[in-house]
Amino acid sequence: MRVRTKVRNLCIRALTESLDVNTMVHIIRRMFQNYDINERTGFPESIPIPSQNAARQIVEDCVGAGRFLEFVGLLIEVDRNGVMGRAYRVRGLSNVIEEVVEMGYLFDPERRVFVENTVQQRTKNWGLLREGDEYLFTFLRMDIVGNSNLVRTYAGDAIARTYSDLRSIVQRVVESRNGRIWSWEGDGGVCAFHGAGASNPAMLCAMEILHEIYLYNLLDCTLMEPVMMRLAVHNGRCEYHEVFEDIKSDALRKLADIESRFTDSNSVTISKTAHSTLDAPVAAYLRGFQPDSRNSLYRYSLGFSR
């Protein structure tokens, strides 16, 4: 990620004018546990390090490690909650935030991180995740039921149009809740939602996709039969890689298993671990079931009451 000189300088000034060197070191060690300011700046321990040198070194190290946004998030945290019970006001922080917003990011106060401003840009890693690092994700996987049969029955153009419509539905719904499509292979794909509270948006997306497919079948589908999907939700830690095929993850394997083995047509299945993190108003619509002695799952589907 490219960080402009202007915003770096604003950040250095904010640090210099607000915190002493010891506090700066204390803060930066929340990100880099063994951070040694003397080693980084080259100043021997016997000589006090000028604030500006320490601030510049810290900012450059954060930029170099691709964690500048995380550091600004940390400064916001310090400004709001202080450090070890003592209040600190980080002067000029609003100028730094303005510049970061101009770079195309917004601060998410709930998760306390900067996320992409999706009006300006939308990348697979939310402009935040680093290649090879491990994060907690909630995944949503979907598959069009009876794909081979549909392809055999209908003209290629009709199928291509229908599948493209379905992908548009998925994309609109998923991106409206800050999820990302990580993989799409014509008849289905995998979407990712990042962070600890991500099971809720993932499950809500799955529910809405099911609703939208019902409406699509009623109003727009040009095939002679309704199209149906199987959707599954599961969460777990996994390494982030830009290329989806490079991601090796037990969570994704289990997700595929839940989708293909335990999910009925036109329904969503969610794993127990993902279900346990759902808010009560979302979980209220799911029904538990036990397909075998090792799996305990929950299901969402639509039906007519009459």
Chain residues that interact with another protein, rule: CB under 8 A:
154-158, 204, 207-208, 211, 213-215, 217-219, 222, 226-228, 265-266, 279-282, 284-285, 287, 300-306
Does residue 105 contact residue 117 with C-beta atoms inside 8 Å?
yes
Q: Which of 73, 192, 207 is nearest to 126 (CA)?
A: 192
Supply the minimum distance, in Å, between the C-beta of residue 151 and another protein. Answer: 11
CA distance 208 to 211: 5
With respect to another protein, which residue has the nearer C-beta, 58 or 207? 207
With respect to another protein, which residue has the nearer C-beta, 36 or 220? 220
Supply the minimum distance, in Å, between the C-beta of residue 238 and another protein. Answer: 26
CA distance 171 to 174: 5
With respect to another protein, which residue has the nearer C-beta, 43 or 214? 214
With respect to another protein, which residue has the nearer C-beta, 45 or 264? 264
Helix spans in 177-249 (H): 199-219
Does residue 255 contact residue 295 with C-beta atoms inside 8 Å?
no
Does residue 142 contact residue 183 with C-beta atoms inside 8 Å?
no
Supply the minimum distance, in Å, between the C-beta of residue 230 and another protein. Answer: 12
With respect to another protein, which residue has the nearer C-beta, 109 or 281? 281
Cβ contacts of 90 within 8 Å, gap of 6 or more:
14, 15, 18, 19, 75, 78, 79
Supply the minimum distance, in Å, between the C-beta of residue 17 and another protein. Answer: 41
Supply the minimum distance, in Å, between the C-beta of residue 204 and another protein. Answer: 6
